[in-house]
């Protein structure tokens, strides 16, 4: 029998699985499909804007201290900044081990400000190596796109960067340099750039555009499987910093990170089953004994485990769903939801309202051990934990903390679970 079954294969679920497996637990991950990493910029956003005031945050961990005092039920408050810092370290170690190192700003603990696909400055605490050289304060930027690539607009990026006071200009190269396909998405372009001949040709073409003192920004398509080599090759060939700017999904930086984590799961012997939507559960004596997923036969598949971790991602991941009558529910285990506003107060009239939309703060409430609790504050099941976007009392979009919350709570929950499975053993990080 498995020690732990994780429900959800996003960032929180996969990190929790890695942590538990490394501690010697037998772990299985089941999920409907793949997670929000595939839509993200590929950075680790810990806290970008203060949720109460909307002011930009320059030192997330410091800001989180204050946030925790003001919002004691916030997932960051439950985890604590020490645990958050340790979790981020653990994430960085895993990423580096997989050949995809992440780092932060030169001044430790400061947010990086990186160019977005619109040329706005977006805050992130950690970025993959490929994006670091794009941190905005610094050398003049040459943003280069591919003509006909419909998810990247260098002129628009450069114009907005200039408006914000940065020196930036744009250029375009023919798409044929990268591919002769008539129809490609970002993944196809990245696969094309796995080919050394292609990224050599790209390097030569970029060299012709370069002016002294500039650094070059490219859409995030510099290789998928051979990303590290392709990036290194370009940098060597050009002799200047080369960085990636993320684009609309499919997010190649997100795919790289997803692949890195899946590689870890495989090496750690974690079983991953996709296309597995939880359709039922078994419980006895206040414990979850099994969850069920549908199969091709009418017999559902039973997944038994000593412990369960719910990491289904909230509304975004379909861990929470709703219907026209205004009912909102947690989809896997029918856990009670907290912070659910009246239906008339779900949304604000402006899509981009800085205060965010109240509905998105609702989710599963957990205690300090990351166990889902009922209204009385008692754990719903003795062997159930929850992490990531499913948690209540935070809107990770509004405050720009999507990856931070996933990492902090995924690992915190895993540690709790490991401690219950191996109470006599020293749990090392």
Considering only residues 303 to 342 of the shown chain, the ones binding other proteins according to CB under 8 A are 315-318, 321-327, 329, 331-334
Instruction: Give the DSSP H/E element, type plus range, for residue 171.
Output: strand 168-174
Cβ closer to other proteins: 351 or 428?
A: 351
CA distance 272 to 28: 6
Which residue, 237 or 262, has its beta carbon nearer to other proteins? Answer: 262
Q: Is 38 in the site for other proteins (CB under 8 A)?
A: yes
- Report how far apart the first and last C-alpha atoms of the chain are (Å, whole number): 25
Cis bond upstream, residue 250 (ω within 30)? yes
Instruction: Single out the residue of 5, 111, 293, 371 in contact with other proteins (rule: CB under 8 A).
Output: 293
Q: Please, which of residues 100-159 interact with other proteins by CB under 8 A? A: 116-122, 148, 150-153, 155-156, 159
| Residue 399 vs 415, nearer CB to other proteins | 399
- 259-288 residues in contact with other proteins (CB under 8 A) are 266, 271, 273-284
CA distances from residue 112 to 124, 252, 305, 321 in whole angstroms, order as listed:
5, 20, 41, 34
| Residues 375 to 414 in contact with other proteins, rule: CB under 8 A | 397-398, 400, 402
Stretch that binds other proteins, among 16-24, 226-234, 346-354, 415-423 (CB under 8 A): 346-354
In this complex, which beta carbon is closest to other proteins, that of residue 56 or of residue 241? 56
Between 9 and 418, CB nearer to other proteins: 9
Residue at token pair 């396909």: 181
**How big is the chain, counted in residues?**
429
Looking at residues 193 to 222 of the shown chain, list those that interact with other proteins (rule: CB under 8 A): none
| Contacts of other proteins in 66-105 (CB under 8 A) | none
Is residue 257 within 8 Å of residue 220, measured between CB atoms?
no
**320 and 330 Cβ atoms separated by less than 8 Å:** yes
Kindly state the smallest distance separating residue 407's Cβ from other proteins, in Å.
15
Q: Are 338 and 363 in contact (CB under 8 A)?
A: yes
Secondary-structure percent of the chain, ordered helix, strand, coil, rounded to 5: 35, 25, 40
CB 165, min distance to other proteins, A: 8
């Amino acid at each position: 029998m498995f020690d732990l079954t994780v429900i959800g294969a996003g960032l929180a679920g996969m990190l929790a699985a890695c942590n538990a497996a490394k501690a010697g637990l037998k772990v299985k991950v089941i999920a409907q499909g793949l997670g929000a990493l595939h839509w993200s910029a590929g950075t680790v956003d810990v806290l970008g804007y203060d949720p109460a005031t909307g002011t930009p945050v320059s030192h997330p961990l410091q800001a989180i201290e204050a946030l925790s005092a003001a919002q004691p039920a916030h997932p960051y408050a439950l985890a604590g900044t020490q645990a958050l810092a340790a979790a981020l370290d653990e994430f960085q170690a895993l990423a580096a081990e997989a050949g995809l190192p992440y780092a932060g700003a030169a001044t430790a603990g400061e947010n990086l400000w990186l160019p977005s696909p619109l040329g706005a400055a977006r805050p992130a605490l950690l970025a993959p190596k490929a994006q670091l050289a794009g941190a905005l304060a610094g050398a003049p930027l040459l943003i280069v796109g591919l003509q006909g690539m419909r998810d990247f607009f260098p002129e628009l990026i450069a114009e907005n960067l200039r408006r914000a006071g940065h020196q930036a200009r744009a250029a375009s190269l023919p798409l044929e340099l990268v591919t002769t396909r008539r129809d490609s998405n970002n993944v196809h372009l990245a696969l094309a750039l796995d080919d050394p001949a292609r990224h050599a040709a790209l390097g030569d073409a970029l060299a012709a555009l370069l002016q002294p003192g500039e650094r070059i920004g490219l859409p995030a398509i510099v290789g998928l499987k051979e990303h590290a080599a392709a990036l290194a090759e370009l940098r060597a060939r050009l002799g200047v910093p080369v960085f990636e700017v993320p684009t609309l999904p499919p997010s190649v930086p997100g795919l790289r990170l997803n692949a890195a984590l899946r590689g870890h799961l495989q090496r750690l012997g974690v079983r991953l089953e996709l296309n597995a939507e939880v359709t039922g559960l078994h419980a006895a004596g206040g414990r979850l004994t099994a969850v069920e997923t549908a199969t091709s036969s009418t017999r559902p598949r039973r997944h038994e485990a000593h412990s369960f971790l719910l990491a289904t991602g909230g509304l975004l991941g379909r861990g929470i769903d709703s219907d026209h009558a205004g009912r909102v529910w947690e989809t896997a285990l029918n856990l009670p939801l907290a912070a659910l506003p009246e239906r008339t107060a779900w949304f604000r009239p402006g899509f981009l309202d800085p205060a965010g939309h109240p509905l998105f703060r609702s989710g599963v409430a957990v205690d300090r051990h990351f166990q889902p609790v009922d209204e009385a504050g008692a754990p719903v099941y003795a062997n159930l934990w929850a992490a990531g976007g499913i948690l209540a009392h935070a809107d990770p979009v509004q405050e720009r903390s999507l990856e931070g919350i996933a990492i902090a709570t995924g690992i915190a929950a895993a540690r709790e679970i490991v401690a219950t499975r191996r109470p006599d053993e020293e749990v090392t990080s």
